Amino acid sequence: MTDTPTADAARILDIATGYMASKQLFHASRIGLFAAVADGSDTISAIAVACEVSERIARLLADAMAAKGLLLRADGRYSIAPDAAAYLTGDDAAIDLAPFLTFLDEISYPHWLQFGHTVDTTQPGDLQMDDARWATFMAGVMTYNRLHAQEFGRHLDLAGATRALDFGGLSADFALSVMARNPGLHTTFVYAPGFEDGIAEAVAAAGLADRAVVEVADTATATPQGEYDAVFANHVIHRFSAEENAQIFRNLRAAAALDATLTVLDFFLDDDAEQRGIDALHAGEYLVIDGTVVYPESEVRGWLTDAGWAVRDKVALPGSPRVLVATAV
C-alpha cells in the first residue's frame, strides 16, 4: 500500500509569518538601510555605521531584506535590487514610499491588532487619532496614491481625449499623469469641500493650471454639467454606499458624451479563478481602519450597466488597485 504524500506547510507558514518581514521592512526603511546600500555601504560594518545601529541589527535587517529580494548579497557584500532602488531610497527614489511604510507601521498595523473585534462585530477598530496621527495617515495615503497614479498613467491609454472630468477622488495625480502625456487634454476637477485647495496647489505645481478648472460639490449628490469624453472616478466607490455609488454613476453618465471613457479605479473582490491577493487584503484593511468597503466587481459592473456604461476592460496596476474601463452607451 502506497502512502499518499502529505502536502508541505510552507505556504501556510509564509502567510503566518508575513508580519515579521513587514516589520523588518518598515524599520529597514526607517533607519535608511536602502539609501545606505545604494550610496555604497555594502558591508555589514559599513551599513551599521551609516544607519547608526549595531552590526547585529545591520546583519539581521540586511539579510532579511536579501531573503525577500530587496537587497542582493554576494560574498558578504550587499547591493540594492531595482525595485528597492526605485521606491525605498529616499530623495533619490522615483517615488519615496517611506511615508506609506510609516503609515503601515504606526497606523495600519496597530489597527490589525483589533481585527478579532472586527471579525466578531463587522465593525472597524478604534482609530484614536490626534493631529500627529492624522498627519502620518494622510502622508501615507497620499504617497500610496502617487504610486497608483504613476501606474495609472503608464497603463491607461487615453490619447485623443480633450475634455476630462476628474470626479470625487482623493488626489489630482491621476488626471495630472494623463494630462502630462496628452497636451490637448483639459480637465475639470469636481471634488468634495475641503479638497479644493490641495487640488489647485497640485495642478499649479504640475504647471497645468491653464488646462484645469477646480470646482467644489458633494460627491454623492453632485450633477456635473458638460459632455466630457473622459471621466475619472478613482478611489471613489469604497467610500460610499451601494445606493450612492449607483447614483454617482448615473450622474456621471449624464455628463458624458456618447462613447466617452470612464475609469473606475479601486480594489475589487472578483470572481476570477484566483482572487487577486492585494484586493482581498485591502478588503480587510479598509474595514478595520475606517469601515469602508471593497466591493465585489460584479456589483460594481451592475451599477455601471444600469447607469449606461459598458465595461470593456479591466486593468490590474502593479502594486496598486485595478481599473474598470467603461464606455458611455
Regarding whether 156 and 88 lie in a shared domain, the answer is no
The mean per-residue pLDDT over the stretch 75-89 comes to: 97
Looking at the predicted structure, is the pLDDT value of residue 2 above 70? no
Query: Are both 85 and 134 inside the same structural domain?
Result: no
Report the candidate in 22, 28, 240 with the shortest Cα–Cα distance to residue 112. Answer: 22
196 domain residue, yes or no: yes
Q: Is residue 288 within 8 Å of residue 110, measured between CB atoms?
A: no
> Rounded CA gap, 100 and 31, in Å?
15
Same domain, 165 and 248: yes
Indicate if 169 and 30 belong to the same structural domain: no
Q: Is the pLDDT of residue 240 over 70?
A: yes
User: Are 220 and 308 within one domain?
Assistant: yes
DSSP 108: I
Mean pLDDT across 277-294? 96
Q: For residue 104, what pLDDT is reported?
A: 97
Q: Is residue 168 part of a domain?
A: yes
Containing H/E element for 271?
A: none
Is residue 99 in some structural domain? no
119: confidence class by pLDDT, cuts 50, 70, 90 = very high
CB 324 within 8 A of CB 267: no
What is the structure's pLDDT at 307? 98
62 shares a domain with 182: no
Residues 147 and 47 occupy one common structural domain: no
Show the beta-strand stretches assigned E in the chain.
71-74, 77-80, 163-167, 186-191, 212-216, 228-234, 256-266, 309-316, 322-328
325: which 3 cell numbers? 474601463
Residue 80 and residue 130 in one domain = no
What pLDDT shows up at residue 4?
A: 82
Distance of CA 28 to the CA centre of its chain: 21
Per-residue model confidence (pLDDT) at position 1: 61
Rounded Cα distance, 132 and 135, in Å: 5
Percent of the chain with pLDDT over 70: 99
Confidence at residue 5, expressed as pLDDT on a 0 to 100 scale: 86
Say yes or no: 136 and 264 in one domain: yes
Region 274-301: what's the mean pLDDT? Answer: 97
Mapping DSSP to helix (H, G, I), strand (E, B) and coil, where does residue 207 land?
coil
Asked if the structure places residue 77 within a domain, the reply is: yes
**Reported confidence tier of residue 55, pLDDT bands at 50, 70, 90:** very high
Q: Is residue 5, in this structure, part of any structural domain at all?
A: no
Structural domain that includes position 261: 120-328
CA-to-CA distance for 256 and 290, rounded, in angstroms? 32
CATH number of the domain to which 66 belongs:
1.10.10.10
Alpha-carbon gap, residue 263 to 326, rounded angstroms: 7
> Is the domain of 66 the same as that of 210?
no
| Domain end among 76, 94, 112 | 94
* 42 lies in the same domain as 139: no
pLDDT of amino acid 3:
74
Number of domains within the chain: 2
Mean pLDDT of the region 317-322: 96
Range 223-239 average pLDDT: 96
The pLDDT of residue 214: 96
Final residue of a structural domain among 44, 60, 94: 94
Same-domain status, 266 and 225: yes
Residue 289 domain-assigned (yes or no): yes
Round the average pLDDT of the chain to a whole number and report it. Answer: 96
Q: Is 204 exposed, middle or buried (0-12, 13-18, 19+ CB in 10 A)?
A: exposed
pLDDT of the residue at 188: 97
Contact at 8 Å (CB) between 142 and 97?
Answer: no
CA–CA distance, 38 with 209 (Å, rounded to integer): 36
Length of the chain: 329
* Residue at 226: amino acid letter: G
Domain-embedded: residue 115: no
Last residue of some domain: 32, 59, 94? 94
Which long-range contacts does 268-277 make (Cβ < 8 Å, 24+ apart)?
268/294, 268/295, 268/296, 268/297, 268/300, 268/321, 268/322, 268/324, 269/294, 269/295, 269/296, 269/297, 270/296, 270/297, 271/296, 271/297, 271/298, 276/316, 276/322
Sign of the torsion angle spanned by Cα atoms 109, 111, 116, 119: negative
In a domain, 302, yes or no: yes
- Kindly tell me if the per-residue pLDDT of 127 is higher than 90: no
10 Å Cβ neighbour count for 190? Answer: 26
pLDDT greater than 80 at residue 272 = yes
Section 71-96 average pLDDT: 96
C-alpha of 91 from chain center: 20
